[in-house]
Amino acid sequence: MADQNRQWRLKTTPHGPIDDDTFTSTSEDVPEPGDGEALVAVQWLSMDPTIRGWLERDTYVPKIQEGEVVRGLGIGEVVASKSDRYAVGDLVSGTTGWQEFAIADEGDRRMQVVPAGTDPLDAVGLLGPTGLAAYFGLLRVGQPEEGDTVLVSGAAGATGSVAGQIAKLKGCTVIGTAGSDDKCARVVDHYGFDACINYKTERVSSRLRELAPDGIDVFFDNVGGDVLEAGLANLALHARIAVCGAISQYDGGTPRGPRNYMNLVVKRARMEGFLIFDHVRDYRLAMGDLTTWASEGRIRHEVDVVEGFDNVPAAFQRLFTGDKVGKNAVHLT
């Protein structure tokens, strides 16, 4: 085992796009687990857009301070343990941070043992935060009913692709948006959406009017900005917008609010934010459903793997350049 623990730390708080000055790598001795703790060798880091918010400001969690190891989810193997909760060889999932070794504290619920037999790639992807966001956001906030028309933005992404497939399972007509013709083809052909709009080349609002003349009943929004406004402009009566993210707005300086939010009144619609943490009691239920659907071939899910510790910042940046399909993760060892 290595005796050094390499880490990515926040160097300079970003206010625009992530650049070479945002992160810096450091190295320190591998920590020793104390009583009730275990040492985890991190194998996979989950690249999630929400981290972009944590880098800049307090959100639902405190801001990551300059000099701190970047907070982030990961999967690793217990390599030493002074805890009854973690056994050497266990796969654990949780807030490892962007580093090669992490301490799991048995009093901290953020680091959980993954059920034996789970593929690590499933643990980081479909059963990880993006899959759970798709599940709870679509079903609990969106509340789709059979026959509803559902719009999913960021449809080629880790969360959007799963949200749309769940909506199809529930008997809905599902329209996606994505940023290239290739992605749109994948959204329709591979993930089974009924249609997909390329927001870079098509006018989203007028295409929605054609594709959904009766309006959108449920809108699962990952992107914000123009696409959010296009969705708001095409709501059905009593529509539900599940606000998951605003990836188009994370990087651009002053964010923009939806100028036509008063359509919420015109359509007596609601817009609601959610976090998976509020549904922690139902994680087991969600993971069970997602595993079943995946094993039946009704949900497809991929992890786009980047290899190596050195490539963590580049992998994170790719979340915002649109150059990705499915879940992004970095394989460390």
**Chosen residue from 274, 300, 304, 311 binding a copy of itself by CB under 8 A:** 274
Q: Total residues contacting a copy of itself (rule CB under 8 A)?
A: 33
Evaluate whether 118 touches 153 at the Cβ level (below 8 Å). Answer: no
- Cα-to-chain-centroid distance, residue 52: 12
- The alpha carbon dihedral of 144, 146, 148, 151 has a sign of positive
| Selected binder of a copy of itself within 15, 200, 203, 268 (CB under 8 A) | 268
Asked if residue 280 binds a copy of itself (CB under 8 A), the reply is no
Angle CA 297–324–230, to nearest 5: 90
Q: What span, in angstroms and rounded, lies between the C-alpha atoms of 109 and 140?
A: 23
Tell me the window of 75-83, 93-101, 193-201, 254-262 that interacts with a copy of itself (CB under 8 A): 254-262
Nearest to a copy of itself of 191, 220 (CB atom): 220
Contact indicator for 154, 160 with CB cutoff of 8 Å: yes
Are residues 176 and 307 in contact, defined by beta-carbon separation less than 8 angstroms? no
- Longest Cα separation, the chain: 62
CA atoms within 13 A on the CB side of 90: 21
Residues 5-44, one symbol each (x = binds a copy of itself by CB under 8 A, - = not), give: ----------------------------------------
What part of residues 210-249 is at the interface with a copy of itself (CB under 8 A)?
Answer: 224, 229, 243-246, 249
Q: Which is nearer to a copy of itself, 63 or 190 (CB)?
A: 63
325 binds a copy of itself (CB under 8 A): no
Phi and psi for 105 in degrees, rounded to 5?
A: -105, 125
Q: Does 269 bind a copy of itself (CB under 8 A)?
A: yes
Among residues 240, 167, 178, the alpha carbon closest in space to that of 204 is found at 178
Q: Please tell me whether residue 312 adopts helix, strand or coil conformation.
A: helix
Q: Is 278 in the site for a copy of itself (CB under 8 A)?
A: yes
152 interacts with a copy of itself by CB under 8 A? no
Interface residue with a copy of itself, options 272, 307, 310, 323 (CB under 8 A): 272
Residue 259 near a copy of itself by CB under 8 A: yes
Residue 10: C-alpha distances to residues 17, 20, 21, 170, 199 (Å): 14, 11, 9, 42, 32
**Window of 30-38, 259-267, 285-293, 297-305 that interacts with a copy of itself by CB under 8 A:** 259-267
Using rule CB under 8 A, residue 60 touches a copy of itself: yes
Q: Of 7 and 263, which CB lies nearer to a copy of itself in the complex structure?
A: 263
Q: Which stretch binds a copy of itself (CB under 8 A): 1-9, 194-202, 271-279, 301-309?
A: 271-279
What are 308's two structure tokens? 């190596």
Closest approach of a copy of itself to the CB of residue 66, in Å: 22
Shortest distance, position 51 Cβ to a copy of itself, whole Å = 14
Q: Does 271 bind a copy of itself (CB under 8 A)?
A: yes
Degrees, nearest 5: CA angle 215-216-218: 155
Q: Which residues bind a copy of itself (CB under 8 A)?
A: 53, 59-60, 224, 229, 243-246, 249, 254-275, 278
